Structure 1
Amino acid sequence: MVSLTPAIERITSFASTSHLRACALLFLLALAAFLPGFSTLQPLDRDEPRFAQASKQMLESGDFVDIRFQAEARHKKPVGIYWLQSAAVSAGEALGVPQARTQIWLYRLPSLVGAVAAVLLTYWALLAFVSPPLALLGGALMAACVLLGVEARIAKTDAVLAACAVATMGALARTWLDWTRSLAFVPSRWNWLVFWGATAIGLLIKGPIVPMVWGLAMIVLCVSERGVRWLKPLRFGPGLLLCLIVVLPWFVAIMMKTGGSFFAESVGQDMLGKVSEGQEKHWGPPGLYLLVFFGTYWPAAAFAAMAIPFAWVRRREPQILFLLAWIIPSWIVFEAVPTKLPHYVLPLYPAITALLLLALVNGGIDRFRRGAVATAALVFLVPLALVGVILYGNWTLDQALPYLALPLLALMLLVAWRVVAAFRRGDLEGALWRCVLASLLLGAGVYGFAVESLHSLKLSPRLAETVATAGCTDPKVITAGYREPSLVFLTGTDLAMAADGAAVASFLNQPGCRIAFVEKRFAAEFQTAISQAGLTPRLLTTLNGFNLNGGRRLEIAVFVRP
């Protein structure tokens, strides 16, 4: 096998000599992967501003038990992520961040911390399966993973959830492999505390998802072992007590405050609704996650696919069996549920990384297998298609090209091509490290420059800027036709939503400084209504943009009545 390039070899050799150095390198890689665009990317409708707005309202109201979006109860997820976001914004206010409560990057900090933790915990979990140099590579591949990079930049639950999941499964792996005498070291006596602590946090973040992942894996392993004795080191009694201590106070408080409606809505409507039908236009057929896998797990997805024959042949070995128990049952559940969102399978990606590395070290990736080079070429073809979409989108929406991004994207494609070349000559480890470099370049080009240049997609920030420049204090705002949550987050909790132009005219006819956003579809009836009311609001500006939700071009007029 051809050796790694000297620079990569020196860095990885140095970092692998101690866990502290390895974690430091992974920390820097994770920041390099996740920070481009982190503070400049606009609030991404619809889920992110819903989470952020609910957290902002907790700070405004001082009520940290109930969860609300404007006047509507938001009883879908537990309170954990809202507490984390509120704490991050409070810290920003204490440090003097201007207008901290409308700075979306502050709400994203828990996601960033969760994504970095997922990378470091992947390294820790992989140490139960492979040597430190390969565990370091596995952590780097998770930092390079497109899906984790997306979740690191969105203020919602899934990056933190992924960290909780990999922590629990890393602890469970040590318990299983120690029982089967496949672990080269004795697990820490605090292993059970990691397992249950991460489970408790996961329960407060997203309910039963983390217990579902390790619970399904336990069932498979217990059936294989024909017993449950191997679970004894996890200390279920103290562990469950810890979970109750952590989660029970809020669950009791929300039950008392809502009269049990939280559980009826979160379990009866949100969770069971996703199981019975595709919610919020997110329906997808079984097999969708496999179809998008080559994009969401890029750049390592192609090599992971090549590891499948190896995993099948050696499926009865304790290490492989554990990883398959981690992946397959939960994957089947996610595929069976009609509601499909790409991030659902993110907690399973560290296990896929482990399988890939085990195949790598055991000669399980055959570059001479029929179709192997074509599969490896996806490392180049997937980002090539993405670059084409980005250039088309920039030109179509804004009649411009992201010139600052082009050198980085071109260099990324060159490195991706070198990945295929390294694979063809048998340098598999070198190919995977080049995958990491290609992902860093892609993130810098796309998030740092290309997305930033798409002004048409920034309707809510541009509308919020018009409020700030309207020239009056304490304005009241109404919108007709454009009702995205990001506009609520950026303009204020009391943003009024009008059903028609007459409602906008009635709003403007009230005392005080008032601003109206009127989408073109409502323009005629709005003009009729203000004429009948004898109003003459001033046209401040007209903004054109594109709303991804619905896929429509919009023209929004901004009127002010001083």
Structure 2
Amino acid sequence: MLKQVLTRKWGLRLLLLVFGAFLFLLPGRASIPPFDRDEPRYMQATAQMLETHDFIDVRFQDKPRYLQPAGIYWLEAAAVSVSGTLKDRAVWAYRVPSLVAMTAAAGLTAWMGAILFGPSAGLMAGALLATSVLAAAEGRMATIDSALLFAVLLAEAAVLSVLQDREAQRPTSAWWALLFWLALGCGLMLKGPVVLIPGLGTPLTLALVERNGSWLRRLRFQWGWLVMLAVVVPWCVAIGLISHGEFFQRAVGRNFLGKIGQGQEAHGGFPGFHLAVFALAFWPGSFFAVAAFPFIWARRKIWQFQFLLCWIVPHWIVFELIATKLPHYVLPTYPAIAILTAAALCKTEQGWLWPQKRWGRVLIGFYGCICLAIGSALAVAGIVLSIVLEGHAPVEAWLGMVGSVPPLVLAARNVVVGKMKRAALSAMAAAVVIYTSLFLGVIPRLHSIWLAPRLVSMVERHKSCPDSRVMSSSFSEPSFVFLMHGNVSLDTPDAAASMLSKNSQCGLALVAQKDFPTFAASAQKYSVQLNEYERIKGFNYSTGKWLDIGLYGAHPQ
């Protein structure tokens, strides 16, 4: 199978898929401001790492950021250093690791799918992953999850190679074992023990299901774990000494274990949360994944299907059980879901395998209606958001709707007549049009929600000193801190008034209208005569509230 897959013709198609995924993930990368709240925290911590040359102790302003190891910050720091954009705070540079990782993930998914089920299934799997809503979003953000996904894929690719060798009854090269443990070590440097859930969970679960763990010796457990630890231990020792153990108390005790018992940062959810959001998160592939279930279930005892199911099920169950829930927690399972879905789409061209029971067909039909509604909502989302927030819709929003509705209709028609592969291709075409419209022409122009860059521009217009002291009492989003190069203090209205009393010439305070009475009373207490320079109104999507923020200084005496 390997020699059959890795032909020159298929290799060119794979390169075309990877290049297409790369181009698909480009729109909006430079034009969309930092997206609150996690992304700018990574950005600011990375910028501080480069400015201070401290690559061990990760900090956000003057506070330690002890949530996960430093791997993602190193990757972003490398991208920013190579691009030479540190002083410019160019957001695209911080997003380069996610772009590269998600593009590579699409290619590696296609490669694994081709090994398992043939070239056409591999290409289909890579496309399904790349066009999913969650991959399209995460691939554009300077966060951990795209890099973690790629690390998981490398480990699973090594496991797949081991299983192939087992089926062919040939020895496994130590290089595959080395790749497996290095991938897990890199995953540990990115997000700590989370990578072990799919990384070790897949082979151990498969061995349990098969009741045969002898093939696990091919992964060289006797020395492999030392390779994994060699990647992460040096930094762990360094941060342990620097933080006097505080990193492990916060990262493991609070951030990792704390998420199990209760939802952190208002991110709690009900059991089944990830199944509920799957329709949107994996759209447009979500309907085809659910519709493929009878095909997959009928082949559940074949080793290729068992491997992929053992990749998905343990990881999914763990994150359904823990209290804290975010859609990207199950992203590492999406390549396996994409491969299984692609196998069904490419192996049933003679006729789609629908459930035999009527209630099964009804449920899948109902789910299809939900997915069609999601696609329709995404098609008009640009128009609706633009009109609601800005009062008018740009041409790109209308083009996105006009360009995506016909392939959506065609996809629905092909589903009805049983041409599922064509339906999937049409749905993915609609997704490409929708995402390009949203990320390139709509989201960057939603000025009402991009408060941080507008506030920075307002501050720059009214700075009276090169080293003006700026304090914000009503807008504390990390994006503002990043775009201000960290040169802003976040404090109370009373502290802002006190600062102006001590910095009458060079002090500036940002205060929302709702906090102004407290601010004015404090200014009177400190004998500060306020001077309002300018006001900005906008919508803080992190809190769901409209804000009216004024910029104040001390009136010359």
TM-score (norm 2): 0.92
Residue of structure 1 in register with 2:222 after alignment: 237
SS at match of 1:518: strand
Alpha carbons 2:378, 2:434 under 8 Å: kept: no
Asked whether the 8 Å contact 1:41–1:452 carries over to 2, the reply is yes
Distance 2:73 2:528 in 1: 42
Please list, as runs of the form range in 1=range in 2, the aligned pairs for 1:59-138 lying within 5 A after superposition: 59-93=50-84, 97=85, 99-100=87-88, 102-138=89-125
Residues 368-447 of structure 1 correspond to what in structure 2 (within 5 A)? Answer: 370-371=361-362, 372=364, 375-447=367-439
Superposition map of 1:464-543 within 5 A? 464-472=456-464, 473-500=466-493, 502-511=494-503, 513-543=506-536
Specify whether residues 253 and 354 from structure 1 end up closer, same or farther in structure 2 by C-alpha distance, changes over 3 A only: same
Aligned length, in residue pairs: 542
User: 5+ unaligned residues in a row in structure 2: which ranges?
Assistant: none
| Structure 1 alignment gaps of length 5 or more | 1-13
For residues 19 and 206 of structure 1, do their structure 2 counterparts lie closer, same or farther at Cα, with a shift above 3 Å needed?
Answer: farther
Q: 1:362 offset after TM fit, Å?
A: 3.6
SS across alignment from 1:456:
coil
Distance 2:92 2:265 in 1: 26
2:142 is matched with 155
Conservation of the 8 A alpha-carbon contact between 2:379 and 2:434: no
User: Post-superposition shift, 1:85?
Assistant: 1.0
> Higher mean Cα deviation, 413-422 or 332-341?
413-422
1:201 to 2:183 alignment: no
- Indicate the SS of the match to 1:515: strand
Aligned partners of 1:261, 1:387: CA distance in 2, in Å?
47
Q: Is contact 2:294-2:354 (8 Å) kept?
A: no
> 2:207 is matched with which residue: 184, 199, 222?
222
Q: Does structure 2 conserve the Cα–Cα contact (< 8 Å) formed by 1:412 and 1:441?
A: yes
For the residue of structure 2 that corresponds to 1:457, the secondary structure is coil
Residue in structure 1 matched with residue 129 of structure 2 by the alignment: 142
2:44 maps to 1:53: yes
Report SS of the residue matched to 1:50. Answer: helix
Is residue 468–residue 508 contact of structure 2 (8 Å, CA) maintained in 1? yes
Kept after mapping to 2: 8 A contact 1:50/1:486? yes
Cα distance, 1:188 vs. partner? 6.3
Deviating runs (4+, > 6 A) in structure 1?
A: 185-188
Alpha-carbon offset, residue 427 of structure 1 = 2.9
1:523-548 CA distance string (max 9 Å, x none): 12222333444434432210001111
SS of 1:200 mapped into structure 2: helix
Give distance in 2, aligned partners of 1:513 and 1:23: 58
Contact 1:197 1:242 in 2 (8 A): yes
Matched residue, 2:446: 454
1:165 corresponds to 2:152? yes
Distance 2:44 2:68 in 1: 14
| TM-fit CA distance, 1:87 | 1.2
Write the distance in 1 (CA, Å) between the matches of 2:439 and 2:34: 13
Give the structure 1 partner of residue 266 of structure 2: 281
User: In structure 2, how many angstroms separate the alpha carbons of the residues matched to 1:212 and 1:368?
Assistant: 32
CA deviation digits over 1:67-124, x for unaligned, max 9? 111121111111100111111111121xxx4833x22221111111111111111112
TM-aligned CA distance change 1:521 to 1:252, over 3 Å:
same
In 2, the alpha carbon distance for the partners of 1:226 and 1:143 equals: 35
Is 1:213 the counterpart of 2:206? The answer is no
**Residues 338 and 368 of structure 1, relative CA distance in 2, 3 Å threshold:** closer
Q: What is the SS of the residue equivalent to 1:405?
A: helix
- Measure how far apart 1:508 and its partner are: 1.3
- Distance (whole Å) between structure 2 residues aligned to residue 137 and residue 322 of structure 1: 19
CA distance in 2, matches of 1:377, 1:193: 46
Tell me the equivalent position of 1:5.
none
Percent identity of paired positions between Structure 1 and Structure 2: 35
Which has the higher mean CA deviation after the structures are superposed, 21-30 or 303-312? Answer: 21-30
Once the two structures are superposed, what CA deviation does each residue of 1:323-352 show, in whole Å capped at 9, x if it has no partner? 111111110100001101000000001111
* Residue 551 of structure 1 pairs with residue 536 of structure 2: no
Residues 293-372 of structure 1 aligned to structure 2 (within 5 Å): 293-363=278-348, 365-366=352-353, 370-371=361-362, 372=364
Of stretches 304-313 and 528-537 in structure 1, the one that deviates more from structure 2 is: 528-537
Q: Does the CA contact (< 8 Å) of 2:379 and 2:404 recur in 1?
A: no
Letter of the 2:329 counterpart: Y
The C-alpha deviation readout for 1:277-331, integer Å capped at 9, x for no partner, is 0000000001011111010001111010011122222211111111111111110
Q: 3-state SS of the aligned residue for 2:452?
A: helix
Answer whether contact 1:296 1:342 (CA < 8 A) is retained: yes
User: 2:246 is matched with which residue: 261, 284, 307?
Assistant: 261
More off after superposition, 491-500 vs 442-451: 491-500
CA distance in 1, matches of 2:381, 2:6: 37
Instruction: Tell me how far apart the structure 1 counterparts of residues 482 and 462 of structure 2 sit (CA, whole Å).
Output: 18
Q: How far apart are residue 180 of structure 1 and its match?
A: 3.8
- Residue 3 of structure 1 corresponds to none
CA RMSD of aligned residues (A): 2.3
Within 2, Cα distance between the matches of 1:377 and 1:15? Answer: 38
Q: Is the 8 A contact 1:88 1:109 kept in 2?
A: yes
Change (3 A) 1:19 1:245: farther
Instruction: Work out whether 1:252 is the aligned partner of 2:237.
Output: yes
Q: 1:412 to 1:40 in 2, by over 3 A?
A: same
The answer to whether the 8 Å contact 2:66/2:251 transfers is yes
- Secondary structure, counterpart of 1:78 in structure 2: coil
One-letter amino acid of the structure 2 residue matched with residue 141 of structure 1: L
The Cα offsets for residues 254-296 of structure 1, whole Å up to 9 and x where unpaired, read as 0111111111111110111100100000000010111110100
1:36 equivalent in alignment to 2:22 = no
